[in-house]
Structure formats: C-alpha cells, structure tokens
Amino acid sequence: MKSTFSIISEDNPGVLMRIANLICRRGYNIESLSVGRTDVPGLSRFTVIIEGEEGAYEQIRKQLMKLIEVVEVRNLTKEGPFVERWLSLVKVLAPVDRRPHILQTAEIFRCRVVDLGSDAITLEVTGDRGKVEACLEALKPYGILETAGSGQVALSRTGFAN
C-alpha cells in the first residue's frame, strides 16, 4: 500500500538526506519526493509517497518527528481527502503535418505549449497522477522524445471535504 506524507521542516542543509535515509534504512521505497518552500520563511514542505505495509506508517511518522529539524509530519492518506498534483514536461516529435493532431490531443488534457521547435513541441501537463499518465499514453503514438516529472505535491482538503 502507498501512503502520502506531508513533512514540514526547517530549511537547513542536509535535511533532505536525513529524511530520505530514515525512510530507506527501514527498508521502504520512496516512490515520489517533492520539496518546496512554504509560505513561512525558513520552512520547507516535503511531499513523500512511501510504499510499504500499512502498520509501519505510524512508526515512520514517529521516527520522522524525532529529527531535530522536522516541525510536523502528517500522513495525508490516513487523515482523509487531499488534493494532489503532478507536473510533467513532455517533448513530442511534431513534424508540421502532424502538429494539429498533437495540439488537439494536448488540448483534451489541457496541456500548455511551453516550447516549439522545427520538429518538436514541448508540452506541460498538470493534474492528478491518472491524468498525467493518460496524457503520456495518448501522446506516445506521436513519438515522445523526452519527459521530465516533478513528483507529487499534496495538501489536505479544506472546505467542503467529507
């Protein structure tokens, strides 16, 4: 089973290494890891997807809280609904005669064109994991030259969540 953790920590050198090492030392695989600054100066948010047994997630949370720089650890999967987004850049082979078809496919997935060359188009696709994967599958027949992905970012839902 996979679990999504949101970790708030002080923005100090080496924190990423300590968090990743703690998880890996316990034999769990980090499927996705994204880090970015928060709205509070000096704090960063790590969004980490870990695959492992369900019973171990509370132990991982407790161990992470023991790290000096860690301020908060939340298991978003356990706490309830949350919003997730993935970002991918996709460079697609796009000769002039096939561009309208590629752009039509991109429009279906609400992709943005971020670069255009003589024989390729680079698209930005953002959404939940399923949308990003479906977009990549739809673009595959045209010839994907390169991809780069951000990993998941997530926040717990507010407002009308059940």
User: Which residue in 76, 74, 30 sits closest to 51, CA to CA?
Assistant: 30
Are 104 and 135 found together in one domain? yes
Both tokens assigned to 58? 């509370």
Domain containing 110 equals 83-156
How far apart are the C-alpha atoms of 157 and 135, rounded to whole Å?
Answer: 25
Query: Which residue, of 79, 104, 136, is where some domain finishes?
Result: 79
**DSSP bridge partners of 93:** 120
Are 63 and 92 found together in one domain? no
Are 145 and 132 found together in one domain? yes
C-alpha pair distances (Å), 30 with each of 60, 68, 107, 119, 162: 12, 21, 32, 36, 29
* ∠ Cα 20 22 24 (to 5°): 65
Residue 31 lies in a domain: yes
Per-residue pLDDT of the chain (162 residues), as tens digits, is 889 999 999 999 999 999 999 988 888 889 999 999 999 999 999 999 998 777 788 888 899 999 999 999 999 988 888 999 999 999 999 999 999 999 999 999 999 999 999 999 999 999 999 999 999 999 999 999 999 998 899 988 887 645
Query: Mind listing the pLDDT tens digit for each residue in 5-25?
Result: 999 999 999 999 999 999 888
* ∠ Cα 86 71 51 (to 5°): 45
Residue 161 lies in a domain: no
